[in-house]
Structure 1
Amino acid sequence: MQLKKMWILALSLVMAFGLITACGNNDSSSSNTGAAEGTSTGTASNASEAPAEKVKLSFWHTWTGDDNLTKAYLNLIVQFQKDHPNIVLDIQAMPMDAYKTRLKTAAAANEMPDVFLTWAGAMTKELAAGKAVKPLNDLLDGKPEWKNAFLANSFNDFTVEGQIYSVPMELTPTSLVYYNQSFFDQYGVKVPATWDELKQAVETFKENKVIPIALGDKAAWLAQSSIMSALGDRVTGTEWFLNAASQNGAKFTDPEFVQALTYLQELAKIGAFQEGFISIDNAGQQQLYNQGKAAMFIEGAWAVTNLVAQSPKEILDATHVTILPSIPGGKGKANSTSGVAGVGPAISASMEEAKKEAAHELVYALAGPEAQRMSLENNKLVSYKIDVPADKVSPLFAELNQLIGTLELSPVYDAVLTSAGTDAVNNGLQELLLGGDPQKIAAKIQDAVVKSTNK
């Protein structure tokens, strides 16, 4: 697989973060957990040597769900504390949306945690521009076998002016079509490879009282990250989008982008989505699918973990994965989907130098070879060269892994646009799906991008 290089703007931290992706679960619970200080064992070879001095690190993450991968990450943290009794973790766990808001506030106030999760693309660029994050080049260069085992271009979206600010823990295609083969077989519908075939599938499922595509856009990111990013690239091509995002000879009011908006709106007009799609989130759309009410839903690779953990056996056994169909006359590559390197650990620029070694130990534990293997074995794609036996993963994940190996990745809108630009797209797509004028929505997006890029 070839990861496309993206050119991302370095932005001000005072802008709101709005990711990809993307990608993750939308659990509503949160917790604050402080690690108990264990007895320091030290590594002294004789009684005269003092035990290792304890170092306290604050660590923020988003692992608040109950899926197997989340449990694996939490177990990894427990094991880290056992293996490093001199490192005391002050842990705060928050669901995704609350986490991003909290991190933005902490960055603006120069009160960043010592170690935290960040996202590839816009968030990392903004943190780097605000001097809120410390480079990890020395850690990576000190472990060349680890660094060199990552896939080509894996660090691109974590890099600003040659400095690498995080290490990818995953690979995140954000736009995949999950479908229930039994519905397609029952009603004689072909899995769509073209836009016309997709429209025909929608019409057939509607006639038979089946939701064609379950959609949950309550949080206003899913239509952008999981549908429009890939659909837009099909129509406009990658180069146009990158130029529009940087206001370099392209504008969001250009005909090709308006056309892309029109394609998405067409799906809503022909009834591809259920009523009330703005009142539920991505967990809600998966619930409709798992209840056997929907033939398809569109989401990122992260959905596999939830499907494997939560889907009834008959639903999971019938579930397969593909990509959005080609667009007639589109400028983008049909054999592609939107995606990013995903999330990774970072360390605060204001962290005391005495804590740096301990912070590096935690980063390595979170993104090192064993953590990468753990993620794969729990049905999570990674940007790391590692083989996992087929009997260690679910059939659906094995199918996804094989599919991704045949594709190219195109940009995810919210990993490239400014935060203000992303907000304009997110809000604009909701308006679009409810019947808004594509040209007026394109103008609003263009205005937001111009203002936020000062061009």
Structure 2
Amino acid sequence: MRKRLVLGTAAIIALTLSGCTGGAPQTDSDPDSIRYLIGQPEDTADLDLVKEDLKAFEEETGISVKLDVVPSENMRTVLQTQLRSGEGPDVFGYDTGPGFAGALEKAGLLYDLTDAYAENDWPIYDFAQERVTFGGKLVGIPNDIESVGLFYNKTMFDDLGIEQPQTLDDLTAAAETIRDNDVIPFAVSDKEGWQGGHLLSMVLSSELGGDAIEELIAGDASWDSPEVVDALSVLADYNADEFFTPSATAVTYDNANALFYSGKAAINPTGSWLAQDIERNVDFEVGYMPFPASDSPGIFSGGLGSGLFISKSTSKADAAVQFLNWNVTEEHGKWQVENQQSIPAFPVDTTDIEASPLFTQILADAAKIADGTGDFGYNVDVLMSDTFNEAMWDGVQALLTGQKKPDQVAADLEKNY
């Protein structure tokens, strides 16, 4: 998921397609004008692409879009404040799953899209629809399919004589070699907290497999089991062995990415959403692999990223639904793949789309997630409650600072399930 949403406070940055304007959200009675709120993209080039897309939508439909962009770390606070005040955006991008969109639906803040799905015959994959269904209502359209794994500096690996690791022991040996050559093995950041959930998801998914992760998420297995403790121990051991960025809990997501871009770190544990930014910022060959398991190459943690939602209090439901419909067309899906290197949560013919070798691999992996032909794990926090997620994020931070041991963190997870 692109830059996880964490609690914080800041003034909203209001942007329009024609430029920047300050101040609070403005109400607008024009039925052919909607306000669209998103988190700040990680690269300014991505914001330009959003504006380009909105301009095409305006020309096609005659509906104008006022774009508001909020720092990602403040999105949850800003969005909930606006929605609860009745002055929220008409449409907004937000994370899927029970801890995010589900919490908004539970609070009665989301527009019911069940009828819109039927009327427009939106071809969203069944598994993706499940992630935006709460209380029997469809409340959003998922934006993209994502995986979480390890980007690695293939050029550096080749120079150091390191093959792509096929087991956890291989990965450990590779990290030792990289560390001994005065390079940070893993560009780990955890200042914001959510990154720790990704790390745990990667290790758990590969070691246990998709079915076992589903049992944990469903409550059919215990979060303080030996398997979970072992996964947490991998993170604790790697941190103790100086494989992770020094003082990782003080390192921001952007700073960790910069370490990878500059070649100061060899492996970046993050999501497929970063592929385009990586290709824009590096001058070396990059590979992408799952976090290996004890006896296999492992599997990717897969699932959904963000989605599009409509505020229940909107007075412009018709225009807002048209905007969502625009995003689910075959043409827009191809544009999304070609320009944003983002994988739609509905079928798109990509046979005539040119892509880099890195993104071609990511597309192939995502296709297996979409059609269910491959085993994949889960990015746990997308499917869990906000209470559990806070315990997970805080727990991994405590693990990396030595304040808690793996079994203590696992006990906290079970307590907050």
Match of 1:75 in 2: 52
* Residues 429 and 199 of structure 1: CA distance in aligned 2, closer, same or farther (over 3 Å): same
Equivalences for residues 93-132 of structure 1 within 5 A = 93-122=69-98, 123-132=100-109
Q: Which of residues 354, 374, 382 in structure 2 aligns to 1:392?
A: 354
SS in 2 for 1:153: helix
User: Aligned partners of 2:42 and 2:363: how far apart in 1?
Assistant: 23
Match of 1:417 in 2: 384
> Deviations along 1:258-298, whole A, 9 cap, x unmatched?
12211221211222112132222222222111212222111
SS in 1 for 2:272: coil
Match of 2:305 in 1: 342
Matching residue's letter, 2:141: V
Match of 1:267 in 2: 238
421-430 or 110-119, larger mean C-alpha shift = 110-119
User: Aligned partners of 2:261 and 2:11: how far apart in 1?
Assistant: 22
Unpaired segments ≥5 residues, structure 2: 19-29, 369-373
SS in 1 for 2:250: coil
Task: Check conservation: 1:202, 1:271, Cα contact below 8 A.
Answer: no
Matching residue's letter, 1:215: V
Task: Check conservation: 1:120, 1:340, Cα contact below 8 A.
Answer: no
Backbone CA RMSD of aligned residues:
2.6
State the aligned residue count: 394
Unpaired segments ≥5 residues, structure 1: 1-19, 37-52, 450-455
> Deviations along 1:111-155, whole A, 9 cap, x unmatched?
4322111222121211222221112222222233xx23x444221
User: Aligned partners of 2:43 and 2:405: how far apart in 1?
Assistant: 41
> Deviations along 1:399-447, whole A, 9 cap, x unmatched?
2222344543322221122112111111110111223311222223333
User: Aligned partners of 2:321 and 2:367: how far apart in 1?
Assistant: 31
Task: Check conservation: 1:21, 1:412, Cα contact below 8 A.
Answer: no
Q: Which of residues 156, 159, 165 in structure 1 aligns to 2:133?
A: 159
Offset of residue 93 of structure 1? 1.1
> Deviations along 1:37-86, whole A, 9 cap, x unmatched?
xxxxxxxxxxxxxxxx744423211244545443222111122233344x
Offset of residue 242 of structure 1? 4.6
Residue 229 (str. 1) matches residue 206 (str. 2):
no
Provide runs of 4+ in structure 1 moved above 6 Å. none
Q: Which of residues 132, 139, 143 in structure 1 aligns to 2:116?
A: 139
* Residues 349 and 29 of structure 1: CA distance in aligned 2, closer, same or farther (over 3 Å): closer
User: Aligned partners of 1:265 and 1:356: how far apart in 2?
Assistant: 49
Q: Which of residues 335, 341, 351 in structure 1 aligns to 2:314?
A: 351
Match of 1:192 in 2: 165
User: Aligned partners of 1:90 and 1:402: how far apart in 2?
Assistant: 35
Offset of residue 240 of structure 1? 5.0
User: Aligned partners of 1:360 and 1:88: how far apart in 2?
Assistant: 14
Offset of residue 159 of structure 1? 1.3
SS in 2 for 1:116: strand
Offset of residue 237 of structure 1? 4.7
Larger radius of gyration: 1
User: Aligned partners of 1:367 and 1:438: how far apart in 2?
Assistant: 43
> Deviations along 1:211-255, whole A, 9 cap, x unmatched?
111112221111212x21121233445555555555x45432222
Residue 205 (str. 1) matches residue 178 (str. 2):
yes
Q: Could you state the TM-score of these two structures normalised by the residue count of structure 1?
A: 0.79
User: Aligned partners of 1:34 and 1:404: how far apart in 2?
Assistant: 33
Match of 1:40 in 2: none
SS in 2 for 1:134: coil
Offset of residue 391 of structure 1? 6.0
Offset of residue 88 of structure 1? 4.2
Residue 31 (str. 1) matches residue 3 (str. 2):
no
Match of 2:27 in 1: none
* Residues 388 and 351 of structure 1: CA distance in aligned 2, closer, same or farther (over 3 Å): same
User: Aligned partners of 1:255 and 1:389: how far apart in 2?
Assistant: 44
User: Aligned partners of 1:276 and 1:169: how far apart in 2?
Assistant: 34
Match of 2:325 in 1: 364
Task: Check conservation: 2:3, 2:72, Cα contact below 8 A.
Answer: no
SS in 1 for 2:346: coil
* Residues 67 and 306 of structure 1: CA distance in aligned 2, closer, same or farther (over 3 Å): farther
How high is the sequence identity, in percent, across the aligned residues?
22
User: Aligned partners of 1:417 and 1:153: how far apart in 2?
Assistant: 16
Residue 375 (str. 1) matches residue 304 (str. 2):
no
User: Aligned partners of 1:216 and 1:98: how far apart in 2?
Assistant: 18
Match of 2:23 in 1: none
Task: Check conservation: 2:207, 2:298, Cα contact below 8 A.
Answer: no
User: Aligned partners of 1:30 and 1:310: how far apart in 2?
Assistant: 28
User: Aligned partners of 1:335 and 1:151: how far apart in 2?
Assistant: 25
Match of 1:440 in 2: 408
Match of 1:429 in 2: 396
Match of 1:323 in 2: 290
* Residues 326 and 391 of structure 1: CA distance in aligned 2, closer, same or farther (over 3 Å): same
Offset of residue 390 of structure 1? 6.3
* Residues 232 and 444 of structure 1: CA distance in aligned 2, closer, same or farther (over 3 Å): same
User: Aligned partners of 2:365 and 2:41: how far apart in 1?
Assistant: 29
Q: Could you state the TM-score of these two structures normalised by the residue count of structure 2?
A: 0.86
Task: Check conservation: 1:192, 1:325, Cα contact below 8 A.
Answer: yes
Task: Check conservation: 1:112, 1:132, Cα contact below 8 A.
Answer: no
Task: Check conservation: 1:63, 1:94, Cα contact below 8 A.
Answer: yes
